[in-house]
A and B are shown apart, each in its own frame.
Chain A
Amino acid sequence: MPDTAPKIIRRSALDGHRHVGDFGTIKGGVPGIVIQERRALSIVHLDAWADQVVACGKAIEKACGTAPAADPVKASEKNDTTVLWVGPNRWLIVEPESRDLFATLSADVTDDLATLTDQGHSRVCWRITGPNMRDLLAKGSTIDFDQSQFIPGDCVGTLLSHFTTVLHCRGDDTVDIYAARSFAVDLDHWLTSSSLEYGLWVLEPA
């Protein structure tokens, strides 16, 4: 009998659509925008029961080394783990794929604390850096991206070019954008075409 068991292969939604290189008007050899897809991320959505939020935070800290940020619209980070706030009592836990994050979390975040959903194959993540990062985001969203308003550690769920996204500000000129994979090609096209006027480097996926 041939082996007919399905083999699940991790494949980015941007496979075959990525055009690596220099594009647009790059002035003085320095691009205004650098885009790099972050690949092979383990992502788990965690929805805590309303009366178990504190216990759930401790369980997340035990499993990942960092508890969720105390405030809404904020992310916490430690080592390679990022905990993104996506709503009251709800977080996305993100790591580069190196262990079975879902199983690790399940051991500490039990059913009586929260529900867990593996989202690792459902999201695409872009890391945008460069001095024009905020100008680029402002083209597609109504959030105030001034440096005084959108600060490192902020984690904002919003519309970007009409797509539902999560924007994680990682530095003055660095943001991670998470979107559903079914929108990935369209949003990638918007990101690249909107960056041309600033000069764009598209790097190999990390």
Chain B
Amino acid sequence: MLRLTCPHCGPRDQVEFNYGGDATVAVPDLAADEQTWFDAVYIRENPRGPHTEFWQHVAGCRQWIRIKRNTQTHEILAYGAATGPMSDDPTGNGGTDK
């Protein structure tokens, strides 16, 4: 069981959230070629260590949020709204693993 911090509601158990995938993937330009879109939609790393992910707080405020989680230890390193600064990066550059 993970304990995630919603930037709006505070710490909550994982059962209140849905996993939303890799938050570091940049959405390509609409005019990008097929291979670029294929990579953005389907190709994912399988990182070991810190990783920034989208989660949705479906049972609480319903907001999409970002969580930086160590995939090896499950330690929660930072959290933030879907866009904007993370808790460990007030400058708003999206977290230290970007």
Contacts and interface: CB of A to CB of B under 8 A. Distances in A.
B59 A158 contact: yes
A104 interface: no
Secondary structure call for the B interface: loop
Interface stretch (B6-14, B19-27, B42-50, B68-76): B6-14
A158 to B, nearest CB: 6
B61 A159 contact: no
Contacts, number: 37
Interface in A4-53: none
Interface residues of B, number: 13
Interface residues of A, number: 13
Contact of A159 (B9, B16, B62): B16
Given A86-B61, A87-B62, A164-B59, A158 B10 contact: no
**Interface SS of A by simple majority:** strand
B63 interface: yes
Contacts of B15: 142, 159
Contacts of B12: 142-143, 158
